[in-house]
Amino acid sequence: MSSYKILFISDLAYPWSIGGVEKLEYTIASKLSKHYKISFLTLKLDGMKGERFKLDNIDYITLGSFKGQLYEDGARSYKEAFYFAIRLLRSISLIKEYDLLFVNFFPIMHMPIINLIDKPKVIDIAEVWDLRYWISYYGIKGLIGSFIESIALSKKSYYIANSSSTKALLNKRGINRVSVFAPVIDLKRLSSISSKKERFILTSGRLVKEKRFDRFIEVIRDIVKRDGSIKAIICGNGPEKENLLRLIKSYGIEENIRIVPFMEKHEDYIKMLSSASLFIMPSIREGLSIVTIESIALGVPVILPDDTPIPKEVRSMCNIASFKEMPELALKIIDGDPNDYIYNRSNLNRFDAGRIVPFYSRLFKRLIDEYH
């Protein structure tokens, strides 16, 4: 094991918070923990064992519990972001004990504090927002978010972008120390899973407005009009759940579509996904979409909307259609051979978690050598 001490910094941590970025950072941290001394600095979340504890060879250090809601009025709480930033400010002396920082860029408010710390930094970034998106998401408060983002992007740090799209946006902002790397799947394991396909359509994610699960429900309504035997599942938790349930009831399709919570064990989710006939990702805000990549690796075709923000390296493996076209295409896929609707499978290799240790070992050594 290397003597390097690496500190991961993120407001949320998997498996206590289930999201794409959290799952990715856990995967990276757990793989690297066999070669480095890995600690994870995060907020205290429900289910955690204590203020400081060890799990999967990772030393977790908590910064206190945020008592408010993670989402307010359907948007990510800026109060939570401010709370996290203040807690980090109080922990600078602890942070300085480490050789290298691996930092989640979101929720952004903490980044100006991170930039003040004179240590090598790897910044994990999934999205870059423009001013229009900030305002559409937060209203007039988005002006503050946009300003903080502009000062949060530091040319001294090294960025890991989750996609070619994110890298291009960083380059546009003058950030050139960037690599694209998203080791989100165990390709060998997923490729070996074989399940009998059932006639149901799956989607998943946090139940928030930008995921557009209301549009998914509309698609299922139109599919059910053509074939009443089709079932659908929305897997997720979030503030939009009651609104979505009301919409399902208003369409009279309670027998065809249900909402289930995120599963505690990822293996249980993978088992459900592998038996689906089709996965639809309707989101308008998606930096990469790990679930889409997992679907392809499991041999489950994916439909994306024609205005999807998902990057080309993922999009090119999927089927693209307008929401109006989706019902007909979905039935065609369900009744056909799934292999006919999965493209460019070789793209999966770039998302293989087996690349984590060699990639980061080289990068950490380079950044630490530069620092000294």
Q: What are the DSSP E strand ranges found in the chain? A: 5-9, 37-42, 52-55, 58-62, 71-72, 75-76, 100-104, 121-125, 158-161, 178-180, 200-204, 231-235, 257-260, 278-280, 302-305, 319-321
If 0-12 CB within 10 Å is exposed, 13-18 middle and 19+ buried, where does residue 246 land?
Answer: exposed
pLDDT for 3: 85
pLDDT for 76: 86
pLDDT for 265: 86
Average of per-residue pLDDT across 48-53: 93
pLDDT for 209: 92
And the tokens for 237? 């938790």
pLDDT for 1: 60
pLDDT in tens, 109-140: 999 999 999 999 999 998 898 899 899 888 99
Q: What is the DSSP letter of 50?
A: S
pLDDT for 264: 81
If 0-12 CB within 10 Å is exposed, 13-18 middle and 19+ buried, where does residue 265 land?
Answer: exposed
Percent of the chain with pLDDT over 70: 100
Write the CA distances from 83 to 2, 11, 75, 146, 302, integer angstroms.
33, 9, 16, 18, 38
pLDDT for 82: 95
Q: What contacts 333, CB < 8 A, 6 or more positions away?
A: 277, 278, 301, 303, 319, 341
Average of per-residue pLDDT across 261-267: 88
The answer to whether 154 and 110 have CB atoms below 8 angstroms apart is no
**What does the mean pLDDT of the chain come to?**
94
Name 321's bridge partners. 305
Cα gap 85→108, rounded to integer Å: 9
pLDDT for 11: 97
State the pLDDT confidence band at 262, using cuts at 50, 70 and 90.
Answer: very high
Specify the higher pLDDT residue, 307 or 372: 307
Residue type at position 251: Y
Look at residue 71 and give its three-state secondary structure.
Answer: strand
Structural domains in the chain? 5-183+352-371 (3.40.50.2000), 187-350 (3.40.50.2000)
Check whether 89 has a pLDDT greater than 80.
yes
And the tokens for 331? 């039935």
Least confidently predicted of 59-63, 260-264, 268-272: 260-264
